[in-house]
Copies of this chain bind each other. A is one copy, B any other.
Amino acid sequence: MMKAIFAAAFFCLVPLAAHAAEPCLPCHAEKTPAAVAQWQGSAHARAGVGCEKCHGSDHDKIVKGEAKVGMKVCGPCHQKAYQEHRASRHGMGLHSGWGCTRNLPNRKEGECRFCHEKGDEIPRSEVQCARFLKQSPEMGEIGCNYCHSVEDACDSCHSKHMTDLKIVRDPNSCAKCHMGPDHPQWEMWQTSLHGTLNASTGRKTGPDCQTCHMPKGTHNVSIGVTMNSGGVPYPAAKAEPARADMVRICSDCHAPSFAKRELERGDQVRGQSLAILKEAEHVIWDLNDRGLLDPMPENRPPHPLSGPRLVTDSQMLYEDTSHIERLFFKMKKYDYARTVKGAYHQNPAYTHWYGNAELKMDLVDIKGEASRLKERGKKGETKAAAPGAEDELKVLKNKFDRGALSEEEYAKAKAKVLEKMR
């Protein structure tokens, strides 16, 4: 009985005390009743954390949207989560669209400054994810920033005023960003054995996103991941401890040897898929060397970062390109990602049909289009014309200039063409 009274006191009296101290409530109970009600039912209210604590007391600033409740507002009270989040991929560089560019071999001097203030690992929150896409501000907001503000916005997952752990412990809270053609982790989990067991037997025997990616409630969601967000494998020194972490997580249910073998299968599939991707990329660069893309980069709006040049790395565009580059965009961003993530998430249909089969069909389509473009070239319709020796020498020079041929290979190939000329 005493316990019941104590509970009543905890749930009723404490919030009432907090309410009494709240100068915002009288107005906001009328203007934003849902927000007030949600806060009133929240752990924040129960702990006496009121409006001012998060929003500040400068009403003008709040109304102008200048008092955003970012990560640094939550951090002081939630230190552990804050530090884990900052150390994870969620906390870094997602604003750059295809993940932080720090792992790109050909990144530009000072490119960090697009996102980061000097010395700060956390990107500035006003950075547009769409910086190298021609996005309107509205599309940037809905299409990019609804997800790519996670590094500074705890409410991306925790929702705004409810702070109900039920919400963030539900894998649905991950779904709103981790779905779609480019990374359908949500979809592939749901129809994997893990997901289907979850549906029939719950979390204990059917692990969900949080089970494997936030073990023991850590906010470092990148634990155990062995590649960057573009699907490029980490170097061994970084990959091996990460792999050991993930095997430990799997071992809660599986024999470590089984877990290791399954994850290594994923590595193999990743390597094999990358090789198919590279074959297609080579076809496109060869066409570029021969001046056969339609249109060529110099005859279309320049790439915002790289200028009038072919770009096929993780900053490649899906607009203002040629048809064959568009095919490669789908291949790289969608089909490669689905194959690899499908394999690591043990989903047969995503690994094979939505992944590997699409990759191989993309290659068929890309080769088919290349054949068409080359024939067009032969007929003298484009600058490259019928590949006489002079043209062939120029193509070789292009390949050498972009580093596709070593000095030695270049010399040999040139000699061969000159031989033929005589």
The chain A residues found within 8 Å of chain B, CB to CB, are: 31-32, 34-35, 38, 135-136, 138-139, 141-144, 146-147, 159, 162, 164, 166-167, 170, 172-173, 175-177, 179-182, 186, 190-193, 195-197, 199-201, 205, 252-255, 265-266, 268-269, 272, 294-295, 318-323, 325-326, 329-330, 342-343, 346-357, 360-361, 363-365, 368-369, 371-372, 375-376, 378-379, 381
Pick the contact of A139: B177, B349, B352 (CB < 8 A): B352
Contact A142 B319 (CB under 8 A): no
9 A–B pairs (Cβ distance < 8 Å), ordered by A: A34-B253, A138-B269, A142-B343, A143-B356, A166-B201, A180-B353, A180-B354, A372-B372, A375-B376
A172→B206 CA distance, assembly (Å): 12
Known: A269-B142, A348-B147. Contact between A181 and B323, CB under 8 A?
A: no
Give the chain B neighbours of A368 by CB distance below 8 A.
294, 322-323, 326
Known: A353-B181, A368-B322. Contact between A201 and B139, CB under 8 A?
A: no
Give the chain B neighbours of A205 by CB distance below 8 A.
38, 162
Give the chain B neighbours of A330 by CB distance below 8 A.
361
Contact B365 A326 (CB under 8 A): yes
Known: A199-B172, A376-B375. Contact between A329 and B141, CB under 8 A?
A: no
Pick the contact of A272: B136, B253, B265 (CB < 8 A): B136
Give the chain B neighbours of A349 by CB distance below 8 A.
177, 179-181
A352→B147 CA distance, assembly (Å): 11
Give the chain B neighbours of A31 by CB distance below 8 A.
255
Determine how close the nearest CB of chain B comes to the CB of A409; give it in whole angstroms.
26
Closest 5 interchain pairs by CB?
A: A143-B352, A323-B368, A180-B349, A170-B200, A146-B348
> Knowing that A136-B268, A172-B196, A379-B379 are A-B contacts, what are 6 other residue pairs whose CB atoms are under 8 Å apart, sorted by A's residue number?
A139-B272, A176-B193, A323-B369, A326-B364, A329-B361, A372-B372
A279→B90 CA distance, assembly (Å): 38
Residue of B nearest to A182 (CB): B353
Give the chain B neighbours of A326 by CB distance below 8 A.
361, 364-365, 368
Contact A200 B166 (CB under 8 A): yes
Contact A201 B265 (CB under 8 A): no
Give the chain B neighbours of A265 by CB distance below 8 A.
138, 141-142
Give the chain B neighbours of A191 by CB distance below 8 A.
175-176, 179, 186
Residue of B nearest to A41 (CB): B205
Determine how close the nearest CB of chain B comes to the CB of A212; give it in whole angstroms.
14
Give the chain B neighbours of A162 by CB distance below 8 A.
201, 205
Give the chain B neighbours of A32 by CB distance below 8 A.
254-255
Residue of B nearest to A294 (CB): B371
Residue of B nearest to A167 (CB): B200
Residue of B nearest to A321 (CB): B364
Give the chain B neighbours of A346 by CB distance below 8 A.
142, 146
Q: Which of A321, A350, A357, A371 has the most CB of B within 10 A?
A: A357
A289→B381 CA distance, assembly (Å): 23
Determine how close the nearest CB of chain B comes to the CB of A269; give it in whole angstroms.
5
Give the chain B neighbours of A190 by CB distance below 8 A.
175
Known: A138-B272, A164-B201, A265-B138. Contact between A144 and B255, CB under 8 A?
A: no
Give the chain B neighbours of A186 by CB distance below 8 A.
191
Residue of B nearest to A326 (CB): B364
Determine how close the nearest CB of chain B comes to the CB of A39; give it in whole angstroms.
12
A364→B328 CA distance, assembly (Å): 13
Pick the contact of A323: B147, B355, B364 (CB < 8 A): B364
Known: A146-B346, A360-B319. Contact between A354 and B181, CB under 8 A?
A: yes
Contact A159 B197 (CB under 8 A): yes
Known: A139-B269, A147-B348, A356-B139. Contact between A199 and B170, CB under 8 A?
A: yes
A144→B34 CA distance, assembly (Å): 41
Contact B200 A318 (CB under 8 A): no
Known: A142-B265, A201-B167. Contact between A348 and B196, CB under 8 A?
A: no
